[in-house]
């Protein structure tokens, strides 16, 4: 399969335009169309069709688009490993959920690099599902997730906890400690990203207490930690956030922690890799280093 044609195909699906892709890729529309035609001939299916909404994928095109990203990433991984073979260095890829990659992991990687100076490290922010899929497809070597994986091709260990705290603007009049029922009396901004699904976890924790999510005055939901922190900074509501993401604001006394009595809201953190028979020695070295040192060296 012509991988350049596959890249062109993905670009067309994403932009819905042959002319835009031709301009961006510095290729004539005629040559681009010929590449797509050859790809369709090879696949044996029409992949694209024109409509009043632009160029859209057919059903076969949607299936190809679904898998083409993985195919191209595997090809990049192949090229990287060949370069590594030539230059004799190890490149370790690590996936993690957003708050882990942004706040905790850099400190650990710094110390790992000191212990293994010949290894190179890449960190990528991915959802739990994306990280596990990347592991299975050998697109990453290690990942940090907040759910215990259920796949016998993988090896994992619980490496620590993601502490979740309820924070408010320091100027807020909310007491420093409240009962769970008091959540119903205070406006809240709800963080919901792909890894820390706080709304579903909160719903699960409230149910045994006879409380429901729709009883909480949620002003709006956000899918990023910076947006949630900005909302708290502007005193738009209280918010459950990873402790590691608000340490600076707490130290500077911009935010304050609100203790919710008898309410444990922490996530387990799992370090996952492929089973030993399917991984390189370098990955095994780093996996065991993380197990021995990881949790206590998080930022």
Do residues 292 and 144 share a domain?
A: yes
Quote the domain boundaries for residue 288.
Answer: 89-154+276-297
pTM more than 0.85 = no
Do residues 17 and 75 share a domain?
A: yes
Is 232 part of a structural domain of the chain? yes
Domain C-terminal end among 50, 79, 108: 79
pLDDT at residue 123 greater than cutoff 90: yes
266 close to 164: Cβ distance less than 8 angstroms: yes
Mean pLDDT over 78-104 rounds to 80
**CA gap 248, 226 in Å, rounded:** 13
Task: Tally the domains of the chain.
Answer: 3
Do residues 33 and 63 share a domain?
A: yes
Is 64 part of a structural domain of the chain? yes
Mean pLDDT over 126-131 rounds to 90
**CA gap 98, 201 in Å, rounded:** 17
The CATH number covering residue 196 comes to 3.40.190.10
pLDDT at residue 299 greater than cutoff 80: no
Q: What is the pLDDT of residue 196?
A: 62
Do residues 53 and 194 share a domain?
A: no
* Nearest Cα to Cα of residue 126 among 145, 108, 107: 145
Do residues 184 and 246 share a domain?
A: yes
Is 270 part of a structural domain of the chain? no
Q: What is the pLDDT of residue 44?
A: 92
For residue 175, what pLDDT band results from cuts at 50, 70 and 90? very high
Do residues 146 and 289 share a domain?
A: yes
Per-residue model confidence as pLDDT tens digits over 204-262: 888 888 898 899 999 999 988 999 999 999 999 999 999 989 999 999 999 999 999 98
Do residues 75 and 223 share a domain?
A: no
Do residues 118 and 260 share a domain?
A: no
**CA gap 84, 126 in Å, rounded:** 24
For residue 79, what pLDDT band results from cuts at 50, 70 and 90? confident
**CA gap 80, 285 in Å, rounded:** 20
Is 259 part of a structural domain of the chain? yes
Q: What is the pLDDT of residue 122?
A: 92
Per-residue model confidence as pLDDT tens digits over 236-245: 999 999 998 9
């Amino acid at each position: 399969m012509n991988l350049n044609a596959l890249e062109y195909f993905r670009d067309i699906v994403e932009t819905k335009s042959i002319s835009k892709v031709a301009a961006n890729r510095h290729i004539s529309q005629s040559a681009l169309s010929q590449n797509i035609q050859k790809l369709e001939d090879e696949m044996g299916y029409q992949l694209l069709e024109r409509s009043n909404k632009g160029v859209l994928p057919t059903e076969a095109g949607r299936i190809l688009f679904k898998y083409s990203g993985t195919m191209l990433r595997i090809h990049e991984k192949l090229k990287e490993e060949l370069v590594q073979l030539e230059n004799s260095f190890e490149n370790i890829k690590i996936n993690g959920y957003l708050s882990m990659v942004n706040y905790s992991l850099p400190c650990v990687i710094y110390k790992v690099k000191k212990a293994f100076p010949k290894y190179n490290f890449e960190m990528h922010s991915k959802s739990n599902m994306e990280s596990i899929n990347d592991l299975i497809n050998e697109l990453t070597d290690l990942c940090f997730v907040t759910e215990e994986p259920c796949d016998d091709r993988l090896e994992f260990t619980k490496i620590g906890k993601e502490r979740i705290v309820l924070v408010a603007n320091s100027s807020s009049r909310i007491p420093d400690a409240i009962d769970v029922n008091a959540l119903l009396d205070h406006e809240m901004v709800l963080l919901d990203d792909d890894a820390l699904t706080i709304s579903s976890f909160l719903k699960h924790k409230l149910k045994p207490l006879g409380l429901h999510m729709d009883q909480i005055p949620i002003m709006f939901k956000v899918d990023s930690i910076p947006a949630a922190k900005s909302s708290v900074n502007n005193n738009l509501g209280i918010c459950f956030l990873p402790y590691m993401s608000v340490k600076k604001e707490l130290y500077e006394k911009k935010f304050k922690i609100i203790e919710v009595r008898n309410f444990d809201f922490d996530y387990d953190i799992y370090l996952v890799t492929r089973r030993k028979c399917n991984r390189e020695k370098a990955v095994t070295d780093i996996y065991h280093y993380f197990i021995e040192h990881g949790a206590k060296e998080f930022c």
